Structure 1
């Protein structure tokens, strides 16, 4: 089947934008490819600038894509011409975002944060609140918790790691390195990481076995600038990238996709060289200070690194390398066993089904990602966890369901950590 090239060009031109959008009247479509050609067409739309909220290359598996009012007629023609099954899952994204922000403001009033004590699972927290929380943990548990400044974002927000130990003082332990918040709009990612921190620190007695042989080094929020920007108002809610400005064709486009900015098969398939694209790989590998921080952490920990785990949203996936090719790493059976253990634990506990496998074979090709780089840098196991989607905009559950989602995520992470204890 040949693509409708002229129609595709029109759609891509409408999809690439330099500024924040007013999402009034935007729709979210669920599209389900049934042929390889349909899947290729949808993937072409995604990495050329169309905003896919979730994407799968597996036939019969749904993907979700945002369609603007200006794109609507052409997009519907494209679906019809290529006989792609589709349905509208949100007829007005702007209204859904406005409702979410109204709920968020109410939750901030009902659940103020002092920077001390445990965080609740009743709302999403901003960068300052997250930093205050881990700083407070270090003060309250000085023999088990260490907080370190590891860098600064482009807009000079501090980036800190929290290292969690069992307090036995043993040096040279193996390390699990966990991070969240690569993509700005995925608010549930830092929320899930904060819950992991809570379980390892505040609920130490229940999880002490996970700290017997391993230390956990956690970077709760990688893309601090983008995350804060996405919380500034409804126009910025769907922001994905970092915030460093780039000039392009007489306009200013902001940010790069931090998960395409790593120097391992950088800017190959699945990444864009257009600064206005959501999958812009950056002008060079490690152009973003945030990815430099992650890179340096990986190299400093790799000689002890057992697992690198990065939390994203959404799609119900546990993905391992490679993302740049359909080939598999030499120890793919180990990677598969860890991912399968996490998926089975979640399904047994909650009924939620996670698909697991190598990124390219299960999801789509995406070169320059952090999980590939983590494995390349020396971590035995490297996994991207794409959490369950929910709510009217997909990325984040409503605040009333945050607890459900983060506890489900912890079930999978705990099971994977226990599997590592058996294997290494």
Structure 2
């Protein structure tokens, strides 16, 4: 039946995701429905084969993109469906016993354009003479992020610009190290963001965390204490190629921009959060280069992930807290992702996460939840947090930031008015984790 389905939607018009013109999602619907076992299996099949190819143009057009997968706690899926596939998709949902399909958005392109217009009205480009001129309540280009971090390091003696690697398109991955008084080789906190290109709130929130830590060291007792106790490493954009592509060409682009002509010449990039070496290619991984969750041709095939791994391995001997910022859903995710089992220190991680969640609520009123990747979301292998767990890092969280994982939320187009509050609540969570680790590990 699946092969018949594939034949049904192959002969259609193609849009080229490799050409420089902006990708249009005109007519794409965002739908939600409650899945059952058969429907969930079919959905995973579509994740691998839901594309149209044009060999003469070396292009691929996405037919289905799973925004939010069902889990044991949330049976509802949220899926983006191309207009030419909507009828077939609806028919097959009925075949698989799904009767509650709802259309959340009739035309996703309209929402993307509205968000772009809103951002354009707010953006007033100005030369960055000082770090304080940087507008934290806007979504910035990667070059603007670098300029800000460079200015911040030049103006603050306890802030250092760090180079953690290079991208497929030869962009340098920069981050910030914030340190205080105390001995060298202290325990460390490492935060990365922007792994998935379309999740713009993640790097924006990381920049707010950087700003608050740098500006308030020496003026805020809590921040001064945790910076004196821990070295802080924050890399706000770990997928600059994909991010810039999402800004200029395809707003919903998720992957890196690596090319491997020996695997598939039509499809570009890999899911950088399926590319880590621990349990790579297992549950939840996808071997189709066109899939949005393609694990890559081999572990650490993506130079961005190799760079992060090498930097952490050789420069951070006492990594105590690791957080990777994503969106969306408002959850703190712990290992494991590759299995339903929990690690031996899960209860300790849960206690720390509960304190972080309470800190968020006390700061902005937002509600976050906690659980493992596999129980709250879906099976996922080759993730950074599973890698860090295997490495022995005590406190590890994949954070799905705002908005909530609800049927009619902003999804990946969170308005910039929410940037600073999202960053503030993330800072509160990280400070709570640092205080807890200090006591538990007697640092």
TM over 0.5: yes
- Please say if residues 175 and 301 of structure 1, whose CA atoms lie closer than 8 Å, have aligned partners that are also in contact: no
Match of 1:173 in 2: 186
Report the CA distance between 1:262 and its aligned residue. Answer: 0.9
Does 2:417 align with 1:403? no
Unaligned stretches of 5+ residues in structure 2:
51-63
Match of 2:242 in 1: 226
- Please say if residues 193 and 235 of structure 2, whose CA atoms lie closer than 8 Å, have aligned partners that are also in contact: yes
Does 2:136 align with 1:121? yes
Does 2:145 align with 1:130? yes
Pairs within 5 Å for 1:322-401: 322-389=336-403, 393-401=410-418
Match of 2:261, SS state, is strand
Pairs within 5 Å for 1:215-294: 215-233=231-249, 236-247=250-261, 251-294=265-308
Report the CA distance between 1:213 and its aligned residue. Answer: 1.2
- Please say if residues 298 and 377 of structure 1, whose CA atoms lie closer than 8 Å, have aligned partners that are also in contact: no
- Please say if residues 18 and 254 of structure 1, whose CA atoms lie closer than 8 Å, have aligned partners that are also in contact: no
Provide TM-score, normalisation by structure 1.
0.90
Separation in 2, partners of 1:329, 1:175: 21
Unaligned stretches of 5+ residues in structure 1:
none
Moved more, 292-301 or 4-13: 4-13
- Please say if residues 123 and 402 of structure 1, whose CA atoms lie closer than 8 Å, have aligned partners that are also in contact: yes
Does 2:162 align with 1:148? yes
Separation in 2, partners of 1:249, 1:259: 19
Separation in 2, partners of 1:314, 1:46: 19
Separation in 2, partners of 1:338, 1:41: 37
- Please say if residues 331 and 368 of structure 2, whose CA atoms lie closer than 8 Å, have aligned partners that are also in contact: yes
Report the CA distance between 1:61 and its aligned residue. Answer: 5.0
Report the CA distance between 1:417 and its aligned residue. Answer: 2.4
Q: Which contiguous aligned blocks of 4+ residues in structure 1 show a shift greater than 3 angstroms?
A: 4-18, 35-50, 59-63, 248-251, 347-351, 390-393
Separation in 2, partners of 1:87, 1:358: 28
- Please say if residues 26 and 110 of structure 2, whose CA atoms lie closer than 8 Å, have aligned partners that are also in contact: yes
Judged with a 3 Å threshold, the aligned counterparts in structure 2 of structure 1 residues 90 and 121 are, in CA distance, closer, same or farther, namely farther
Report the CA distance between 1:244 and its aligned residue. Answer: 1.2
Match of 2:84 in 1: 70
Match of 1:292, SS state, is helix
Match of 1:252, SS state, is coil
Judged with a 3 Å threshold, the aligned counterparts in structure 2 of structure 1 residues 379 and 249 are, in CA distance, closer, same or farther, namely closer
Provide TM-score, normalisation by structure 2.
0.86
Q: How many residues align?
A: 415
Separation in 2, partners of 1:198, 1:38: 45
- Please say if residues 321 and 375 of structure 1, whose CA atoms lie closer than 8 Å, have aligned partners that are also in contact: yes
- Please say if residues 31 and 105 of structure 2, whose CA atoms lie closer than 8 Å, have aligned partners that are also in contact: yes
Match of 2:306, SS state, is helix
Report the CA distance between 1:39 and its aligned residue. Answer: 4.8
- Please say if residues 48 and 272 of structure 1, whose CA atoms lie closer than 8 Å, have aligned partners that are also in contact: no
Separation in 2, partners of 1:423, 1:12: 56
RMSD between aligned residues = 2.6
Match of 1:211 in 2: 227
- Please say if residues 302 and 377 of structure 1, whose CA atoms lie closer than 8 Å, have aligned partners that are also in contact: no
1:370-404 CA distances to partner (integer Å, 9 max, x unpaired)?
Answer: 11112222311211000122787511411222223
- Please say if residues 153 and 223 of structure 1, whose CA atoms lie closer than 8 Å, have aligned partners that are also in contact: yes
